Amino acid sequence: MVFSLPEVDRVFTNVGVSTEGFVGQSSNYLTELNVTLVPRGDRKRSTDEISEIIKKKIQQIPGVRVRTSPIGIFGTANQSPIALLVSAPDYERALGAAEGLAEVVRRIPGTSDVRLSSEAGKPEMQIEIDREKMAALGLTLGEVGEALRIAFNGDDESKYREGTDQYPIRVVLDRFDRSRTADIVSLTFANRRGQLVQLKQFASVGLGTGPTKLQRQNRNYSVTVYSQAVARPAGSIVADIRSAIAKTPLPQGVGISYLGDEKNRSESFASLLLALAAAILFVYMIMVALYDSFVYPFVVLFSIPVAVIGAFLALALTMKALNIFTMLGIIMLVGLVGKNAILLVDRTNQMRREKSLSVHDALVEAAQTRLRPIIMTTASMVVGMSPIAFSLSAGSEFKSGLAWALIGGLVSSLLLTLVLVPVVYSTVDQWRVALTNLRFHAVVGKTSKIMPGKGAVVPFSGPAFHNPSH
C-alpha cells in the first residue's frame, strides 16, 4: 500500500513500540512505519502532501487509527507541535476536561490528528483493596503490591549456578492462572505473624477498562492533548486555541498549560527579544564611544525600525513564519542596517565641521556622496543572501526565512533610511540647539541683578558670557 507511491524509497516497520519524542512508548497495539522518501529534487510533491496521502490509504483498513509525524534530527518521530497539558485533582475530572478541550482543538482550522495521551478503554483486571481489612489482617499495601507485581510481571533476581555458568530464575504465575479471576482471588500472602491470608479476604477482583497511560504534573493527575499543525503555523493555531478557551469556562480545579513547540517558542522568543535589546544597547554604546556624543548615535538607531518593517513585510509576502531563524536574522539586521545611517551621519558631521555648512546643505551633500557606497554594500549583501532565499534543496524551508528577513530589512533600510535619518538628524539638531539656548538664558538670568532705580541689568559675582550674535 505504501510502496505503491512513487516517492517512497524505503519503509521500516516497528511492531509494539513507538519512537515518538525522546522517550517513546511501547504497547501491544502500536505499530510504527518509518517511511523514507526519494530526494526532494526527484519528486514534485512535498513531505506533508505525501504523508497525508499515506494516512488516507491506511485509514481504509477497518479499526485502524493513523497519525503522521515528521522525522526529527535525532532520527525519531517528532512530538506533536501542539501540546496542552490538562491537570486536575482527580483523573476523571482531568480526562473529562481533556476530552472537552480536544473537541475545541478539533474545531480550530489547521489542526489534525487530535488525540489524548491517555485514552480509556484498555481491558484490564482491577483489584479493589479494602485497606481497613488489609490492616486488620496484618498486611501493608507495599507488601501486597510487591507480591502482585511478582505474580504478574515476574521476578528474576534469583540465580542458579552450575559450575562457571549462571542461569536466572524467573518466578511468575503461569499464564493460565494469571487469566483466571477465580485463581487470582486465591493468592496467599504471609503477614508478619506468619499467617497466610488470601486475597479474597480483603479485596475484590473483576474485569474492567482503564486508561492506557497515567501522568502526574505537580502532584495532580494530568492528560495531554496533542495535535498536528497543517498548512498553518503552530503559533497561529495556539493563538486561536487560547481565544476559544477564554470563551469557555474551565471546571473547578482544572488547569491548562502549554507544552511542545509553544513552550519552546515562548521561552526562545523571550531570550531572543532580550538578545535583540542587548544588541541595540551595545551598538548604541559603541557609537557613543566613537562619536563622543549621546545625540548622533540616537539618530543612527532610527534605521533599525525601518529595517524591521521590511523584514516583516518580506516574511509576509513569501509566506514565511516568524521562528527562531527569522528572529536571528532580525537581530543580525541591527548591525547590518546601522552602517547606512552611520555613513550619512558621519559625512554630515564632517561637512559641518570642515566646511561650516548648514544642517540642510550638509545632509544633502552627505546623501549625494554616500548614496553609491550604501547601494553597493546593500546590493552585495542582498545578492549574497539570494541563494539561501531561493534554495529548493532539502531542508531549505527552515533557513530560507532568515535570508528573506535579511533581504527585506536591507532593502527597506536602503529606501527609507535616506529619508528618515536626515529628517531625524535635522529635528534632533534643532532640539539640541534649543536646549543649549535654554540653558544659556537660564544661567544668565541666575547670575544677573537689576540695579534699583536704574532699570539696567548688570552681571555680578559670576562668569562673563559672550554672545557672538550681539
For residue 264, give every residue at least 6 positions away whose Cβ sits within 8 Å of its Cβ, in sequence order, or none. none
Task: Reply yes or no on domain 293-446 having CATH 1.20.1640.10.
Answer: yes
Q: Are the CB atoms for 139 and 189 separated by under 8 Å?
A: yes
What is the residue whose three cell numbers read 497466610?
A: 196
Per-residue pLDDT of the chain (470 residues; tens, 9 = 90+): 777 888 888 888 877 766 655 445 556 667 788 888 888 777 888 777 888 888 888 888 887 878 777 776 555 566 678 888 888 888 888 888 888 888 888 888 888 888 887 766 667 778 888 888 888 888 888 888 888 888 888 888 888 888 888 888 888 887 777 777 777 888 888 888 888 888 888 888 877 776 666 677 777 888 888 888 877 777 788 888 888 888 877 778 888 888 877 777 777 878 888 888 888 888 888 888 877 778 778 888 888 888 888 899 998 888 887 888 888 888 888 888 888 888 888 888 888 888 888 888 888 888 888 888 888 888 898 898 888 888 877 667 777 888 899 999 999 888 888 888 888 888 888 887 777 777 666 655 555 444 444 444 444 344 443 444 43
- Domain limits, the chain: 1-79, 122-210, 293-446
Where would I find the beta strands (DSSP E) of 236-321? 255-259
> Torsions phi, psi of 211, nearest 5?
-70, 150
CATH topology of domain 1-79: Alpha-Beta Plaits (3.30.70)
pLDDT of 38: 83
pLDDT of 88: 87
- Number of Cβ within 10 Å of residue 449's Cβ equals 12
3-state secondary structure of 79: coil
Same topology, domains 1-79 and 293-446? Answer is: no
Compute the half-sphere exposure of residue 326: CA atoms within 13 Å on the CB side of its CA.
24
User: How far is residue 49's CA from residue 38's CA, in Å, rounded to a whole number?
Assistant: 14
User: How far is residue 111's CA from residue 240's CA, in Å, rounded to a whole number?
Assistant: 11
Phi-psi map region of 124: left, alpha, beta (phi>0 left; psi -120 to 50 alpha): beta
Q: Are the CB atoms for 95 and 36 separated by under 8 Å?
A: no
> Torsions phi, psi of 399, nearest 5?
-100, -10
Class of domain 122-210: alpha beta
